[in-house]
Chain A
Amino acid sequence: MADQEEEQDNTGDQNHKPQDLPQVLVLKPPPVLSVIGEESFLSNKYQFLKAWESPLPLHQFLTAHAGSIQAILCSGAAPVTDDLLQLLPSVRLVVTASAGTNHIDLEACHRRGISVTNAGNVFSDDGADAAVGLLIDVLRKITASDRYVRQGLWVSEGDYPLGSKLRGKRVGTVGLGGIGLEIAKRLEAFGCNVLYTSRKKKTFLSYPFYSYVCQLSAHSDALIICCALTDQTRHMIDKDVFSALGKEGVIVNVGRGAIVDEKEMVRCLVHGEIAGAGLDVFENEPDVPKELFELDNVVLSPHRAVFTPESFMALCELVVGNLEAFFSNKPLLSPVMDV
């Protein structure tokens, strides 16, 4: 009785039984679901349809449920393609549990009138903290000297080589979205000079803008990659960019591995053509080019830069919030605006 009353209060004049709730397709559990736990995603406005739990082959599964699937919860491991959308004509919303949207065919969504939401700015603070942490780590050799001490070398070999001062360094951010802006804010507190490149100049900001990443690189002591992976940005950080960055230059990547020509970057690092790197993402995770393990001037991070329990919790709330808003005909919380 109590359950029915609750449902009546929350859903208006309709009395939904659980199986009547609109279905949200989840092909594979996004990291946030595994980490936070399903209970936090429960709602009386929708129900998860967990494809990975079904014994049926995917195609059959989808065809069987196509009529009731109104939304998809996706992530990098479970892309949303035009083919998938073709099988699910009732889908009106795609929710991704990530800031990035490169695993979603945005053009197809747009064409089909399907709304898309992403993680908005839930990761921006933590992503920025990690990006700046990686930058200082590389410049001041923090992880390298931790390794040095743990190997007993402080006792046997003496002091570890010094790093380099932050103040006055020109730091070029590739991308100035949510994370980029938070990075810039922090860097200013260290006395760094922020420059950037972006799809469009941000007229409300006074940081020097460069239309081309090569130009940015030529004027920077360090590059921080914090943009989305798209067709335009794939392998954007290439031989020319590294060459412009130069022997003293440093790169931090908290975007996507494929934004960087990884083979070329490794070659530059091995040959001392750039001074160091802080990498949270790689082209073929979790594979990391073996050559990097030999290098002291590289800090390696297992794609965790944006993740903290707190940001995961915030993401969970955002995902639930978007789904509930959608099914209540209320405005979406974090719609992806541009295609």
Chain B
Amino acid sequence: MIPGTKNNMERNNINPQDLTMASDANQECFPSNDDLPTVLLHRLPSFNSPLKEILQPHFHLLDPADSPEPASSFLSSHAKSVRALICLYNTPLSAETLRLLPSLEFIVATSAGVDHIDLEECRGRGIIMTNASKAFAEDAADYAVALLIDVCRRISTADRYVRAGLWQVNRDYPLGFKLGRKRVGIVGLGRIGFEVGKRLEAFGCSIAYNSRQKKPSVSFSYHANVVDLAKDNDALILCCPLTEQTHHIINREVLEALGKEGVIINVGRGALIDEKLLVKFLSRGDIAGAGLDVFENEPDVPREVFELDNVVLSPHRAIFTPESLEALNELVFTNLKAFFSNKASAIGL
């Protein structure tokens, strides 16, 4: 799978022109709502997306957040026969809500992570789920690599230094350290992790990984656990989902194994790392630096890191570019179309 070499839609035999035309021809050319498959849009009222406009010509969209009725009563009255649901961004999808949807067979998550969805309930009922990794993987990987370069080479810190007028005064700046030939350990070798590894190879880094299962088709070196990965590598990049098993997977043992010269990059979920402990390690110089796109309690970032020059902070946007959001919309459309045509996509979780 080589994402991005062709437009997602073309790859799935959907002509972009048709989609646009469909939207324009909205009222006139399309069958009535009664003939369109019903899809529930599950979202927090504050979340919005162009998905509604894009999907409306093709599906009968139910949007409880748009209704004055309380959600549970709306679902009970209108959604008993709903077979497919879109979970917008990280709107929590609880077992309680799922139980109000007895006919549900298919969930389209519009995020890469799905820790906000009750996976156990879904598994128990055999509900198929797709996530959006395919749309986001490259942008997330680009960002993760850039965070690593930034931390190693101190790009953001140096920018701050220059803007504060200190270069002019001191005529000097502490050096960063070399990225090339660094050993990089990727935690979670899904789509994003794989793309990260591919890119870093071009920088002369050697790549190792830990994942739930070894990937036989991949040439990167596999480590059975994260502590070993940390011991043997100069940097860790977290690209795995948040689950019960991965909660605080980066703990004291891992950070100590990573060591004083070690660097950690997180584009997964804040709770993958014991954040309080990480801050201590960073403040004391017990690891060399960190690039963090996610935090345990967004948008709150521990105050102590603001004092630190060895951290790069990012407001949870590694996966987002206008292009990836467009790709996401296409992916959602494609997945729904495939489901309702009984050509269920091979992308499951």
Contact = CB atoms under 8 A, between A and B. Distances in A.
Interface stretch (B60-68, B113-121, B138-146, B268-276): B138-146
Given A142-B156, A149-B313, A154-B299, A287 B178 contact: no
Nearest to A184: B202
A288 B168 CA distance: 8
B40 interface: no
B317 interface: yes
A149 B301 contact: yes
Given A142-B312, A300-B159, A304-B175, A166 B142 contact: yes
Nearest to B146: A136
Interface of chain B: mostly helix, strand, loop or mixed:
helix
A186 B203 CA distance: 6
**Interface footprint category on A:** 35 or more
B146 to A, nearest CB: 4
Nearest to A126: B178
A311 B299 contact: no
Interface string A132-169: 11101100101101111110001100111011111110
A142 B160 CA distance: 13
A185 interface: yes
Nearest to B145: A136
Interface stretch (A188-196, A204-212, A214-222, A317-325): A188-196
B180 interface: yes
Contacts of B10: none
B235 to A, nearest CB: 13
A293 B160 CA distance: 10
B171 interface: yes
Contacts of B203: 125, 129, 132, 186
Interface stretch (B103-111, B209-217, B319-327, B341-349): B319-327
Contacts of A126: 153, 178-180
A160 B202 contact: no
Contacts of B177: 308-310
A137 B317 contact: no
A51 B171 CA distance: 22
Interface string A306-332: 011111100000000000000000000
A301 interface: yes
Contacts of A312: 175
Given A155-B300, A293-B163, A304-B175, A145 B315 contact: yes
Contact of B155 (A150, A154, A185, A299): A299
Contact of B146 (A125, A142, A185): A142
Given A145-B314, A309-B178, A304 B173 contact: yes
B126 interface: no
Interface in A159-182: 159-160, 162-168
Contact of A308 (B4, B146, B176, B322): B176
A272 interface: no
A113 interface: no
B162 A164 contact: no
B280 interface: no
Nearest to A131: B149
Nearest to B318: A140
B173 to A, nearest CB: 4
Contact of B321 (A130, A164, A299): A164
A126 B320 CA distance: 28
A142 B320 contact: no
A296 to B, nearest CB: 11
A35 interface: yes
Contacts of B146: 133, 136-137, 140, 142
A167 B143 CA distance: 12
Nearest to A150: B306
Contacts of B201: 189
Contact of A189 (B161, B199, B299, B314): B199
B158 interface: yes
A286 interface: yes
Contacts of B171: 286
Contacts of B145: 136, 190
Contacts of A191: 4, 138
A28 B194 CA distance: 48
A299 B146 CA distance: 13
B198 interface: yes
Contacts of A286: 167-168, 171
B149 A133 contact: yes
A154 B158 CA distance: 22
Contacts of B204: 125
Nearest to B170: A286
A18 interface: no
A300 B143 contact: no
A261 to B, nearest CB: 20
A37 interface: no
A300 B139 CA distance: 23
A150 B309 CA distance: 11
A140 B323 CA distance: 12
Given A150-B313, A190-B142, A308-B175, 7 more contacts: A130-B153, A136-B142, A140-B321, A168-B4, A300-B159, A301-B155, A304-B173
Interface of A: 35, 125-126, 129-130, 132-134, 136-137, 140, 142-143, 145-150, 154-155, 158-160, 162-168, 185-186, 188-191, 286-288, 293, 299-302, 304, 307-312
15 contacts: A125-B204, A129-B153, A133-B146, A154-B299, A154-B301, A165-B324, A166-B142, A167-B138, A186-B203, A286-B168, A288-B167, A304-B173, A304-B176, A307-B175, A310-B178
Instruction: In the A-B complex, list the 3 residue pairs whose CB atoms are closest, starting with the nearest.
Output: A133-B149, A189-B202, A136-B146
